[in-house]
Amino acid sequence: ILNVEQSPQSLHVQEGDSTNFTCSFPSSNFYALHWYRWETAKSPEALFVMTLNGDEKKKGRISATLNTKEGYSYLYIKGSQPEDSATYLCAFNYGGSQGNLIFGKGTKLSVKP
C-alpha cells in the first residue's frame, strides 16, 4: 500500500517565525511530487510540482526541496504571516497518470499575529 506521510500534523507559530514541514513518500516509481495550500472554505491551490531529484522551487516566501532517492520533500515558509495559515498538502505521483496521485493528510499551519 502506497503511503504519503506528512509531519507535523499541525503547527502553531508566531508571525515572523520561519517554519518547515516534511512530506515522506515511497522512493520507487517516482514521477512527481505536488504541494498544495488549502485555506478553509477555499479550493486547494497548487504551489509546486516537482519532478527531478534535487529540485528546489520558490514562490515568494515559500520554497520546497525534493529528494527522490530517500523519498522526502521539505516545504519552507520564511517569516510566516497570518495569511499563510492553511493546510499544506503534498501528493505523490507514482504512475505518471494524474489518476495516480496519493495525498498526505496535510500539515495544518496556524500563524498568530
Interface positions with another protein (CB under 8 A): 4, 31-32, 34, 36, 41-46, 49, 51, 89, 91, 93, 95-99, 101-106
Q: Which lies closer to another protein via its Cβ, residue 17 or residue 44?
A: 44
- Smallest distance from another protein to CB 6, Å: 9
Q: How far is the CB of 100 from another protein (least distance, A)?
A: 8
Please tell me the distance from the alpha carbon of residue 106 to that of residue 5, in angstroms, as a whole number: 8
Nearest residue (CB) to another protein, 14 versus 41? 41
What cell does 59 get? 514562490
Contact 77, 88 (CB under 8 A): no
The 3-state DSSP class for residue 98 equals helix
Q: In sequence order, what are the residues at sequence separation of 6 or more whose Cβ sits closer than 8 angstroms to the Cβ of residue 35? A: 23, 46, 47, 48, 50, 64, 73, 75, 88, 89, 90
Nearer to another protein, 13 or 102 (CB): 102
Least Å distance, CB 111 to another protein, is: 22
* Residue 47 vs 111, nearer CB to another protein: 47
Q: Shortest Cβ distance from residue 105 to another protein (Å)?
A: 5
DSSP label at residue 84: G
